[in-house]
Amino acid sequence: MRIRAIPQIYRNMNRWGEILSILSKYGLADWLSRFEFGLAKSLFKNRNGQVLAEENRETRIRLALEELGPTFIKLGQIMSTRPDVVGGDLATELEKLQANVPADDFDLVEEVIQEELGHSVDEVFEEFSRKPVASASIGQVHRARLKTGEEVAVKVQHHLIQDQVRVDLDILTGLAQLAERLPELRPYQPQTTVAEFQRVLRRELDFTRERRHLEQFALAFEESDQIKVPRAYPEFSATRVLVMEWLEGTPFSNLSSIDPLEIDLRAIAQHGAEIYLEMIFRHGLYHADPHPGNLLLMDDGTIGLLDFGMVARLDESLREDIEDLLLAIIEQDAHRLVSVVIRVGAVPTGLDETGLALDLSDFVAHYAYQSVEQFELAAALTEMFDIIRRYEIVLPSSMALLLKVLVMLEGTAQKLEPCFSLMEVLKPYQSKIVAQRLAPSRQFRKARRLAYEMQQLAEVVPRRLRDILQQVQSGRFDVHLDHRGLEPSVNRLVLGMLTSSLFIGSVLLVTNQVWPFRGVSIPGTLGGALSVALGLRLLRAISKSGHLDRRQ
């Protein structure tokens, strides 16, 4: 951790102490879980009295995040979309995170509305329910009626949540710097993960972004009779307050309690999946949190969408990469799948491409003989994530999010219809994807983008070559070499020279009886003993590195 972080630690000392005590408790519980100490295991419990050492590691991580509060719960929810970073088991466990945040008192809600809108609750709304219908980590939702008579949902940010998030993000940055130095945590890329999380959370704290998402969706799907997007009221919205249309319907999480004779759950699941695929592959703009609570079945049969805090957009190049990936899985093309993964992912140095190709070939072969009806895309994508993580390949966050959305989408649909297969819905899109790629308009856009890039290259390359030639001519051309792994060798060489010098000097002191005690030189003896100890340590270090006498 850098020295400039010390004032920040002092300023947030209480929160630092709280976080470190919780992490210590769960860390000790993790250590005790490896031993058969029944009495000791019962020492560590969470706030609900649950014995931590009896739970598996993934559950302990989830419980720790829940105890750490809203910011860390949000971190866990976002990391549940990155199985390529944290692994499939942990990502699945993090999906269970629930932000059971107590609702603010109505006085605080009134204060936030007054500060943001410049008017009191009574001046803006005809009716306003004092009791919220929901309370999450960032804000809570109240039902209300405008002066003009429209039923609305009012999303109000929790009082002082921005200050709490700022403190927690500062602390997370410090913890990420420490975690980056631990070999067992380095594969999780703590600093990169926290930086991405900060960007996402700061956007979510600004309700004007969610309002713009509502307006974008309303414009993109204004002609659709299959999807209902709440209307936003920008004149009554601000950074911490969002007023939108109230949608009346049955959440997908409650559809299973409806009489199957009254509603065709399979048709609803199919309909919802088709809407999402239309968002992704046609509009390139999709709702990124399709859990059952955010989907409503309206009385007229349309599907309503709630909570536009997480919305993702796909540019054309990323959409093509994702299409390549899904087509490779659909067509069981192992060679194409390996090529796409290596092309789009952040590949570590020294990647075992042969091993990756063999594992992905086995993966494709496993699903090659399954019928479309039996093919579970969620299981296939989860297994592919595990393979990618094993080879320390990190996918772009936007691609990982989309693939995770497909996993969530199939899981939501299967709660309505257990036999539902997203692949069955996705299969017809194969021909649509190919047709869209060959469309003249898309080819023209690609050609125009390529021509622009070639033009930029043609302008840059001569200038760069001229700069290099001028540096060579003036003698200012430098070549910087990165000596990887050379520092330990240099340190050992220096230590060896110091050890030999110390030994020779000590022998001279003993020979000349400098400061003798009973005929033996004290500094010479001490120096000789120290040089022997340093020599043994140097030999041990060389031996551990495996390069003592091995020939390359």
Q: CA–CA separation, 13 vs 244, rounded Å? A: 40
Counting beta carbons within 10 angstroms of the beta carbon of residue 27, is it exposed (0 to 12), middle (13 to 18) or buried (19 or more)?
middle
Q: CA–CA separation, 200 vs 416, rounded Å? A: 31
Q: Which residues contact 529 (CB under 8 A, 6 or more apart)?
A: none
Pairing outcome for strands 249-251 and 285-287: unpaired
CB 167 within 8 A of CB 68: no
Question: H or E stretch including 275?
Answer: helix 265-278
DSSP state of 245: E
300 annotated active-site: no
How far, in Å, are 284, 287, 293, 294 from residue 304 at the CA level?
Answer: 19, 11, 11, 8
Q: CA–CA separation, 124 vs 118, rounded Å? A: 10
Q: Which residues contact 340 (CB under 8 A, 6 or more apart)?
A: 321, 324, 325, 328
Active-site pick, 84, 104, 289, 359: 289
Alpha helix positions (H), 5-118: 6-11, 13-32, 38-41, 57-68, 70-79, 83-86, 88-94, 106-117
Task: Name which of 427, 330, 327, 343 is nearest 388 in CA terms.
Answer: 343
Place of tokens 């000596």: 483
**Residues forming the active site:** 289
